[in-house]
Amino acid sequence: MADAFQEATFGFRFMSLTEDELGRLRELLPSVTFTRRSRGSGLVVSFDLTEGFDVDSLCAFIAESGVQPNTYSVWISLIASGDQGGVALPLHILAIVRRISGGVDFSFASCLGDSPGTPSGGGPQ
């Protein structure tokens, strides 16, 4: 039997931004790689949260743009080879959660019976 694996990724997701808002976000966070897709009348925009992320600029964008707290969240994705377990949030993710007043969303995928090896991906969608 292969060793159990678990991979957690941490991201941030806005559920409905305009093109102008995305442009402003890119200005404030120039080193961030954004993923975007159309959804209804807006854009779903997501990006990875790494240690050293500029949370001050993210908070400034949220305050300036007036986006509602129910339209953005920290996204935590967990991929595991078992159906039990958990994840502890790193300190930099806890700091972001405490500052944003938005949501925290979780995704869990269990890869039971898959071939050995760690899957990739799992960021915010």
Compute the residue count for the chain.
Answer: 125
Residue 116 belongs to a domain? no
Residue 60 belongs to a domain? yes
Residue 1 belongs to a domain? no
Tokens representing 67 are 């986006």
Count: domains in the chain: 1
Residue 39 belongs to a domain? yes
pLDDT tens figures, 16-58: 999 999 999 999 999 999 999 998 879 999 999 988 889 999 9
C-alpha to C-alpha distance for 116 and 38, rounded to whole angstroms = 35
Describe the strand order of the beta sheet including 35-39 as a list of residue ranges. 35-39, 42-48, 6-17, 72-80, 103-110
Strand residue runs (E) in the chain:
6-17, 35-39, 42-48, 72-80, 103-110
pLDDT at 16: 93
Q: Which residue has the tokens 């986006």?
A: 67
Residue 46 belongs to a domain? yes
Task: State which residues form the domain around 64.
Answer: 6-110
Closest C-alpha among 37, 96, 102, 90 to residue 66: 102
Specify the CATH number for the domain of residue 82. Answer: 3.30.70.240
pTM for the model stands at 0.78
Residue 78 belongs to a domain? yes
Residue 117 belongs to a domain? no
The β-bridge relationship of strands 72-80 and 42-48 is unpaired
pLDDT tens figures, 80-106: 777 666 778 889 899 999 998 888 988
Residue 74 belongs to a domain? yes
